[in-house]
Amino acid sequence: MSPSAQQAARNRMVIETPLLGRFPWLVHGFSTRRGGVSSFCNPDHSSADGADLNLGKVQWDRTAHVLENRRRLLALLQAQHMPLLLQRQIHSDLIRVVNRSAFPNPPPAGDGLMTDRPGLLLAVLVADCLPILLVDARQRVVAALHCGWRGTARRLTEKAVGRMRLEYGSRPPDLWAAIGPGIRACCYQVGEEVVEEFASQFRYAEKLLETRTRPLSPLEIKHSVMLFTSARSANRREVYLDLVQANVGQLREAGVPAKHIASQAPCTSCHPELFFSHRRDAGRTGRMMGVIGVREK
């Protein structure tokens, strides 16, 4: 592959943040769904060229395809010799510090990985949840976090900064953060359970939760009649959560400078040609990856 073709493939398959790109010793990226060998079971939701870069083990895809997709991603990042470390993600606030090359098999449960060891590539799998990458630029410590609403409500991002300070003596002014593609406030409608959780956990919850109203659809009106109920209003109340700003808020409260935080990645639900989305595709979808590591000298 020519250098220009390789760069074109890289631009199609990986989103790299200029904020973190300033560190030549760092490898990082957020994958898209494009440029792989998988064929998604629903052609209407497939990538533009019909070849999906699914990086997670899902029922509709073959293991051989997933392994080839991961190989392609690492090759584009020039990280093919770096072991790829993944956890069994459980929507928790559990963070594991990796101090050696060997990693447990099967992988342990958790939603955060952290290391100061060069040559290791930390990764999280996502399909609407936020992949968040942290870097201590002074001490070359990195972390990868998987933040859905549960992990965010449990302050996983804020706790990761605290864990960096505890384990490595990291100073917040030396930290940099990139929040990758995930479902944004435009599309992330949530129920009362989530509303109550965030209202009780965040003093700035009113900035994270937006209430919208829309007219009831004919089907919703018909359903109300069938259940012998009547709507008090012709409108339906819906609440949307800004998961990105909830995590930006945690980083800021932990002392990370605002200019050190990249948070403008696209919404996964809005772009079926670029990203998998668990919410948009009703759970039958693939997985993307956020990766970070320190290159060996």
Q: Indicate if 196 and 177 belong to the same structural domain.
A: no
Tokens 């991603």 -> residue: 73
- State percent of the chain over pLDDT 70: 86
DSSP 8-state class, residue 174 = G
Summarised one tens digit per residue, pLDDT across range 40-86 is 755 555 555 568 999 999 999 999 999 999 999 999 999 999 999 99
Q: Indicate if 233 and 215 belong to the same structural domain.
A: yes
Nearest one of 275, 291, 270, 265 to 52, comparing CA atoms: 275
8 Å CB contact between 75 and 133: no
Domain final residue, candidates 199, 223, 239: 239
Q: Indicate if 165 and 121 belong to the same structural domain.
A: yes
CATH of residue 167's domain is 3.60.140.10
Residue 287: strand, helix, or coil: coil
pLDDT averaged over every residue in the chain: 90
- The yes-or-no verdict on residue 138 having pLDDT over 80 is yes
pLDDT of residue 95: 98
Q: Indicate if 65 and 141 belong to the same structural domain.
A: yes
Q: Indicate if 248 and 196 belong to the same structural domain.
A: no
**Which tops the pLDDT comparison, 237 or 281?**
281
Give dist(CA 149, CA 89) in Å, integer. Answer: 13
Summarised one tens digit per residue, pLDDT across range 192-248 is 999 999 999 999 999 999 999 877 766 656 555 554 455 456 677 899 999 999 999
Q: Indicate if 86 and 233 belong to the same structural domain.
A: no
CA 67 to chain centre: 20
Residue 37: strand, helix, or coil: strand
Task: Find the domain containing 203 and state its range.
Answer: 190-239
Nearest one of 243, 186, 181 to 15, comparing CA atoms: 181
pLDDT of residue 223: 58
Q: Indicate if 45 and 176 belong to the same structural domain.
A: yes
Q: Indicate if 235 and 248 belong to the same structural domain.
A: no
- What's the domain count of the chain? 2
Give dist(CA 183, CA 201) in Å, integer. Answer: 21
Q: Indicate if 109 and 207 belong to the same structural domain.
A: no
Domain final residue, candidates 224, 239, 254: 239
Burial of 111 (0-12, 13-18, 19+ CB in 10 A): buried
